[in-house]
Structure 1
Amino acid sequence: MNQVNVVEQLTAERNQLAKQAVHVHKFGGSSLATAQCIERVVDIIRQHCQLNDLVVVSANGDTTDALFATYQLALERQDTLTSAIAQLYQAQVELIKSLLSAATAERMIDYLKSDIQQLTHWLTSTPEQYQADFLSFGELWSARLLSAILSERVCPSYYLDARDFLVINNDQQCVVDNGISLEQFNQVTQLGKLGVVTGYISKDSAGKTCTLGRNGSDYSATIMASLTGALNVTLWTDVDGIYSADPRVVPTARKLHRLPNGVAKELGRLGNPVLHAKTLQPLTDHSTHLHVASSFDYQNTGTEIGKFGQIAKQELSVTYLNDLLLAQSESFLGQQGEQAQHLFAAICSDTEAGYIVISQAQQKAVSQWLASHDTEVSFTPVAILATVGHKVVHHGDVKARFKRALKHEQVFAIANSPFQHSLIAILPQACSVELLNHVHHDMTKDARHIGLVVAGLGNIGERFLQLLPKQLTQIPLLENLHLVGLISSKKALINNDGIEVSQAFALFEQEAKNYDHQLLMSWLSNHPYDELIVVDITPSEAFSLLYGEFFKQGIHVIGANKWAASSSTEHYNDLLTTAQQHKSLWLGNTTVGAGLPINYAIQDLINSGDQIIEISGIFSGTLSWLFETYDNSVPFSQLLLDALAQGITEPDPREDLSGRDVQRKLLILARMAGFELSLTDIDCQNLVPEALQQLSTEEFLAQAAALDSYFADAYLQAADQGCCIRYIAKFSLQDNGQLCASVGLAVLTENDAFANLTPCDNVFQIRSHWYQDNPLLIRGPGAGRDVTAGGLHSDLVNICRQLVHRQQQVKLKGINTL
């Protein structure tokens, strides 16, 4: 078979495997440290894996450290070697017995005994010849144990010793021979089972065991993804993602939910504590996405690395490396400098100034290389502090901000990364924790990204979106707010790379997909933002029932929808408790009074220590218009039909005349004022006669004249007393501690605060300990697309103000793990 045919065959085999191994999962040593940790890993695999996926494992806990310490004892011919080997054996036996059935455990212990005999032989003869072989036992034991557990409890499983297929050039460069490795992998893989593969270890072309270096198991996982064409790789570790700085030393570091590939590679190159440069190398030519998540908090969304749009490219982070050397020489000028930069993979360089920055371990190699050029060199201890982001070397504003952040520091130079994704400050002293925190604050402040989802694309939803572009440009708090979702009753458009607001409706028409609530929750619960806000402008009770699920996911809600806030007392209290537990915010200023600040006024009084004893007023713009306009000069039914034609009433005017909407609004305000009551506690006068209540809308409108005599009589009786009729809502706290609440038609004197309004106005009157004799009045338009959309924007700014300084808790093993 010629070489072209071999390549074609391997490609076909790889494509076939790509359809089978859709995901590679890697678990580090801390994730597998104890029986409890392994149980957690088994749960993760049960929830996230399918047959033909691959699981890559490190050695359990500190097994590799224990193996290396035992190896050192063998080199030194210490008497304690036998005891150390016994401890290795006993630690594995305890794990095996605690996790497997007796029969399987016995078989696994027999394998272990054979391994112990082999390693004892090596250690007591010529240990220096077998260092890599000896260290490989940690991964071998881990893979064999996990595979046995999965076979017993979850699904058919097998384990693979990576040395049976993975071939690299040497254990310094660790370059994979993809052709041979893939061919041998295809020979040992077992379809229809879940494969568990040893990380960290491989072999060279001569068959000698090699290790892959620091964080070698991460590298193993991405190698496996490259070989199989897997769609995703997840690195399960002890931190829940990649942060804008090392969260162990920068408390304000924030999770970077999505990182472009190039930025991630640069972070790995420049000292990120989770990412390492080699890890990403195998994915260079693939569309595979890499995920970093915590096995100790696996319900929490981690960080995804891949190809993303503009929003993800806006992220900035700060990293540092100490214990470096600045090497200066004439040989680092011009073309020779470029050669040196490439040869030594320098942290940074300047071919005009004649320097490169390298690790201390490279000093000898650099000196030897320069000796052949017969030039002098000077080495100066330095550190680097870098701002990393997508092509930041081309962002003048970022570079200016970086320089300002360092203006009081001694800096040798600020260099551009050769990969364009970082600005690197070379420091003549170690980077201190204080400096790192200071620069991180200056570079990433106000950088929290907030996703916005708008549900309800009708009249008010359309106006809300029309106002949004101007709001985004003129309100600084909305600087990092991104429209990412549009939802109607049947279709949804979710785009985590952002939806262009000016084209929102056109894009929705072109790209929206049908959804059910389960699919919608799946989309929203996996969002890549620091915060997500759902603006509910729907009239849907079914959509309001999702609020509890939103809150459990930490999603915030702005609701013009009245259903949730006026639901049963039990459900309403459950929503408040769930929102509080998960730190979700729930604002609903437009549920009552459109854009009028009645909710804000109530909250301010309560938060300031006042106690509200009564709220009353006219809460319906429709009923306000009807009774301010009605003067008995035309029949009430004619006025009602005119209002319907003008769009003042609901399509079925009985929705307004029933008083149910006003009843719900009064309940919402009473609850906001701190009182616990339900709809059944509020007397409600329905202005529609029983005979008309069960008719179809068309039948009701045809018989609307049946309303006329009632309203004519009510008007005339009030007029005889010099009064008027209005539909009033009121609740009050009585002297005996009882609550009295009702909505209905009332007769008012002409000088009453509720008697003379502009038609469609709402008016709210608040009596409290502070406002008793002269109650607080709030009056204005209680309906309309502009004022309602404006009220929603008011809530949006309010929520963003509360979120701007919020920090997510960092999940670190040993600090705050589950």
Structure 2
Amino acid sequence: MTQINTLEQVDFAQNNLEKHSVNVHKFGGSSLATPECIERVISIIRQHCQLNDIIVVSANGKTTDLLLSLHQLALSGELLDTSLALLKEQQSALIFALLNADNASRLAGELEQDINQLVAWLSDNPLAFESDILALGEVWSARLLSALLNERICRSYYLDARDFLVINNARECRVDNPVSQANLANSRQGQKLAVITGFICKDQAGNSCTLGRNGSDYSATILASLLSAKNVTLWTDVDGIYSADPRVVPAARKLHRLPNAVARELGRLGNPVLHKKTLQPLTDDFSGTGSHLHVASSFDTKAAATEIGEFGQIARQELSVTHLNDLLLVSCEALKGSVAADVIAELSPVYSDKKQGQLVILASQQQALTNALAVLGAEVIFTPVSLIAAVGYQVALRLDIYGRFKRALKNDRVLRFVNSKQEHSIIALLPQETTPELLNKVHHEIVKDARHLGLVVAGLGNIGQRFLELLPAQLARVPALENVHLVGLVSSKKALIHTDGLDVSSALADFSEQATDYTNQDLVSWLKHHPYDEMILVDITPSEAFSFLYDEFFDLGIHVIGANKWAASASTDTYRALKNKAGKSGSLWLGNTTVGAGLPVNYALDDLIYSGDQITEISGVFSGTLSWLFEHYDAQKPFSVLLKEALAQGITEPDPREDLSGRDVQRKLLILARAAGFELSLEDINCQNLVPESLQGLSTEAFLQQADALDGYFEQQYRQAKEQQACIRYIARFSLEQGKVKAGVSLEVLARDDAFANLTPCDNIFQIKSHWYRDNPLIIRGPGAGRDVTAGGLHSDLVKACRQLVNKQHQVTLKGIN
């Protein structure tokens, strides 16, 4: 739902707003119930709306219920005074709490006139004026919000939908699109934000009508169709559509993207948020624009909305379970004939079988069906039933899901299993009520493995390419990665993001052909609106600038697997802030490959710390490059010659001074010390730079030309060590002694039998001492660099992250309901 220009920029971009596509924003009654709620709505409009957008409103809070109660009281001849006083008091309280004195006085006067008219309708002929009476709630809500927008944000006006929206009749509520579209075009005012009443309209004879309960949602999608709107957002009291009613099924998960056909089936079969008419104008859109519907929470605007539209294969894998109680199975011989078609058109039954002469209808429709069949004199049998259904794209054709659904109900009484005509649901008709226990059981069996994890890989160099080469086989054989979808590849300048997933077998080739330029904020913006249960970003870049984005990633709840050392070795304040933010948002931050490539040194430290041990010392050879150099150096050839050989073989960095400076080892020691629970900064770690000052400021080319200046120092160090039957190695050491921390990296003289002295060239070795490993240290040794081991280490972190995330539950936002 990214907006190009929102009302926050209206003073700067007002003349350009009309050029952008229209979006419709609908606010439900719970979103407008109190002054505090309306203040939130004002903030949402400021942040998310353009001047040419449409705002559709329901009546404030329970206003419609109160008006309906007044109508019922009038029909029964009971006194109205108390309810009328309460109605007026509630509306007046909203007006005077929100508006300035002049506007409050004006709206209060208009409210007084409306109350007088209401009294006249109730006294005269309440039955004839039912729709006019119920329409008052939306009129008051739209009038108040428009006045408030005029005060706070921009010029605004409100429209009574009865001035333009025409339907054929109150029973079918079929919109006369050409007439309504022309009327709406004539009613709109330029350079003003329109607030339009939901729920109400007029028929072709000009009589007031309502669109039924939850009709404001239907109004919003009707307007989207009439205006060829790009998006419709239903701002409501829940933060999306769930795989089951989250009030009943605590394990329900949000469905981030739903195909239109699946959403319509959910609405038809009892989803508590979607209603069957809501989607009809979008899926039967005569304008052909293909609008997308979003369901978002006005109580939690940071929560990702559910989007409904046309999507690819990943969205089509979504599954959910819904149910309906208070149903009737109708059996009648007359329903085998042509009568069935008329009844189906009239009542839209949940299920019909013309061959058997059976329908399943809502219990509330019993009288209407009885009246329709009475003229035929046919015997009708009504049997109370309920239904429970598995809903998903062509789910009836997915034999595995069908089997699991039946197995989940094997110990329950089921009258029959039936498929919807569109094959998007499997329905079980039950002779008893669907209980919460049954709903939870079926949901567990059907939806347990449907969690979708998005994966973005940043950094497509040597290691990044190897990571992607290994990915197809990993996805195929590791169960924890079953629902991982590669959705993005990012290099330093180009990106390829595909919400519906990239083909992992051709991802690099597709990147070469399709990637486009991007900015970091482009990436953050996409991640902000990603449609997955969780998003994992694998950072294989060497970029400090890219690590600065971690703060925003963690803000968004993005999980980071990093081979990038910059963030993990940042300043103490920055590192602490990142850790705190990741913890607060629930983001995982794994970085085993920041030290030791794929060696499990970080895992070992984590395990010891979480188990209650206390680390007292970490030491070893942490640089594969320096390991190779000093395992090979024997003073038979100059050190500079050996260094250039290592450079030619790709063992050193392009500028070997990066290795010889010790900074990389210093950062690795800092990362491990922090992992062990100590708060250090780089400045706390002494670092011996093996490059003399005279060579430090030169260009790489000049340094290599003068590298023989290194030879004398290293030959001297080697020969002095040899005289002691010892050797030289570049060692990192951290220790805790009597409460004092000591840390440094430097060239040391070691005995020939020292654990650090006899390594396979390029190997790393890590020695860990703790209370448990005091006398016999824990040693981890192996390749500290290399394409396969580093890429493998990243895959190890990915599997670990997925295992932690598979059962993660998000707090469901149900402000208005709870």
Instruction: Report the TM-score range of the alignment, normalised by the length of the smaller protein.
Output: over 0.9
- CA distance in structure 2 between the partners assigned to 1:766 and 1:656 by the alignment: 23
SS of residue paired to 2:442? helix
Counterparts in 2 of 1:490-639, with a 5 A limit?
A: 490-639=493-642
| Range moving further from structure 2, 366-375 or 234-243 | 366-375
Aligned residue in 2 for 1:721: 724
**Offset at 1:104?**
1.3
| Range moving further from structure 2, 68-77 or 329-338 | 329-338
| Range moving further from structure 2, 445-454 or 345-354 | 345-354
Aligned residue in 1 for 2:760: 758
SS of residue paired to 1:564? coil
- CA distance in structure 1 between the partners assigned to 2:370 and 2:502 by the alignment: 54
Change in CA separation of 1:814 and 1:195 when aligned onto 2, cut-off 3 Å? closer
Aligned residue in 2 for 1:11: none
Change in CA separation of 1:349 and 1:17 when aligned onto 2, cut-off 3 Å? farther
Aligned residue in 2 for 1:66: 66
- Alpha carbons 1:17, 1:229 under 8 Å: kept: no
SS of residue paired to 1:423? strand
**Offset at 1:84?**
2.5
Opposite residue 430 of structure 2, the aligned amino acid is L
Deviation string, structure 1 residues 180-218 (Cα, Å, up to 9, x no partner): 111111111112111000000000111110000010000
- CA distance in structure 2 between the partners assigned to 1:125 and 1:334 by the alignment: 45
**Offset at 1:95?**
1.0
Aligned counterpart for 2:788 among listed residues 781, 786, 789? 786
Aligned residue in 2 for 1:164: 163
Change in CA separation of 1:546 and 1:721 when aligned onto 2, cut-off 3 Å? same
- CA distance in structure 2 between the partners assigned to 1:677 and 1:484 by the alignment: 37
Opposite residue 91 of structure 2, the aligned amino acid is Q
- CA distance in structure 1 between the partners assigned to 2:341 and 2:685 by the alignment: 81
Counterparts in 2 of 1:225-624, with a 5 A limit?
A: 225-284=224-283, 285=285, 286-333=289-336, 341=344, 344-367=347-370, 370=373, 376-624=379-627
Opposite residue 188 of structure 1, the aligned amino acid is S
**Offset at 1:69?**
1.6
- Alpha carbons 2:239, 2:303 under 8 Å: kept: yes
Aligned residue in 2 for 1:706: 709
**Offset at 1:477?**
0.8
Change in CA separation of 1:67 and 1:362 when aligned onto 2, cut-off 3 Å? closer
Opposite residue 143 of structure 1, the aligned amino acid is A
Change in CA separation of 1:18 and 1:242 when aligned onto 2, cut-off 3 Å? farther
Aligned residue in 2 for 1:123: 122
**Offset at 1:772?**
1.3
- Alpha carbons 1:22, 1:230 under 8 Å: kept: yes
Aligned residue in 1 for 2:136: 137
- CA distance in structure 2 between the partners assigned to 1:702 and 1:597 by the alignment: 39
- Alpha carbons 2:237, 2:817 under 8 Å: kept: no
- Alpha carbons 1:59, 1:138 under 8 Å: kept: yes
Aligned residue in 2 for 1:146: 145
Opposite residue 741 of structure 1, the aligned amino acid is A
- Alpha carbons 2:329, 2:382 under 8 Å: kept: yes
Change in CA separation of 1:473 and 1:333 when aligned onto 2, cut-off 3 Å? farther
Change in CA separation of 1:208 and 1:337 when aligned onto 2, cut-off 3 Å? closer
Superposition RMSD in Å: 1.7
- Alpha carbons 2:30, 2:816 under 8 Å: kept: no
| Residue 190 (str. 1) matches residue 157 (str. 2) | no
Aligned residue in 1 for 2:5: none
**Offset at 1:338?**
6.8
SS of residue paired to 2:670? helix
- CA distance in structure 1 between the partners assigned to 2:17 and 2:640 by the alignment: 72
- CA distance in structure 1 between the partners assigned to 2:22 and 2:490 by the alignment: 30
- CA distance in structure 2 between the partners assigned to 1:562 and 1:341 by the alignment: 65
Deviation string, structure 1 residues 610-648 (Cα, Å, up to 9, x no partner): 111000000000000000011111111111000000000
Aligned residue in 1 for 2:38: 38
- CA distance in structure 2 between the partners assigned to 1:331 and 1:316 by the alignment: 37
- Alpha carbons 1:18, 1:231 under 8 Å: kept: no
Change in CA separation of 1:574 and 1:629 when aligned onto 2, cut-off 3 Å? same
Opposite residue 683 of structure 1, the aligned amino acid is N
Aligned length: 799
Q: Percent identity?
A: 66
Change in CA separation of 1:662 and 1:334 when aligned onto 2, cut-off 3 Å? farther
- CA distance in structure 2 between the partners assigned to 1:86 and 1:426 by the alignment: 47
Deviation string, structure 1 residues 23-73 (Cα, Å, up to 9, x no partner): 000000000001110000000000000111000000111111111122222
Aligned residue in 2 for 1:692: 695
Opposite residue 508 of structure 1, the aligned amino acid is F
**Offset at 1:82?**
2.8
Change in CA separation of 1:117 and 1:352 when aligned onto 2, cut-off 3 Å? closer
- CA distance in structure 2 between the partners assigned to 1:797 and 1:252 by the alignment: 22
**Offset at 1:339?**
7.0
Deviation string, structure 1 residues 310-356 (Cα, Å, up to 9, x no partner): 00000000000111111224455598767765554221234454432
**Offset at 1:21?**
5.3
Change in CA separation of 1:654 and 1:452 when aligned onto 2, cut-off 3 Å? same
Aligned residue in 1 for 2:8: none
SS of residue paired to 1:499? coil
Deviation string, structure 1 residues 717-752 (Cα, Å, up to 9, x no partner): 1111111100000000012x1111010100011100
- Alpha carbons 2:395, 2:426 under 8 Å: kept: yes
- Alpha carbons 1:18, 1:228 under 8 Å: kept: no
Change in CA separation of 1:805 and 1:789 when aligned onto 2, cut-off 3 Å? same
Opposite residue 395 of structure 1, the aligned amino acid is R
Aligned residue in 2 for 1:48: 48
- CA distance in structure 2 between the partners assigned to 1:246 and 1:238 by the alignment: 13
Opposite residue 706 of structure 1, the aligned amino acid is A
- CA distance in structure 1 between the partners assigned to 2:695 and 2:817 by the alignment: 66
Opposite residue 32 of structure 1, the aligned amino acid is L
Aligned residue in 1 for 2:657: 654
- Alpha carbons 1:17, 1:228 under 8 Å: kept: no
**Offset at 1:594?**
0.1
Aligned counterpart for 2:769 among listed residues 761, 767, 771? 767
Change in CA separation of 1:367 and 1:103 when aligned onto 2, cut-off 3 Å? closer
**Offset at 1:301?**
1.0
**Offset at 1:76?**
2.8
SS of residue paired to 1:772? coil
- CA distance in structure 1 between the partners assigned to 2:602 and 2:20 by the alignment: 55
Aligned residue in 2 for 1:177: 176
- Alpha carbons 2:224, 2:231 under 8 Å: kept: yes
| Range moving further from structure 2, 709-718 or 361-370 | 361-370
- Alpha carbons 2:450, 2:483 under 8 Å: kept: yes
Opposite residue 575 of structure 1, the aligned amino acid is L
Structure 2: give runs of 5+ residues left out of the alignment: 1-15
**Offset at 1:17?**
12
- CA distance in structure 1 between the partners assigned to 2:367 and 2:141 by the alignment: 38
Deviation string, structure 1 residues 750-800 (Cα, Å, up to 9, x no partner): 100000000000000011111111111100000001000000000000011
- Alpha carbons 1:448, 1:804 under 8 Å: kept: yes
| Range moving further from structure 2, 348-357 or 657-666 | 348-357
- Alpha carbons 2:238, 2:816 under 8 Å: kept: no
| Residue 742 (str. 1) matches residue 741 (str. 2) | no
Aligned residue in 2 for 1:5: none
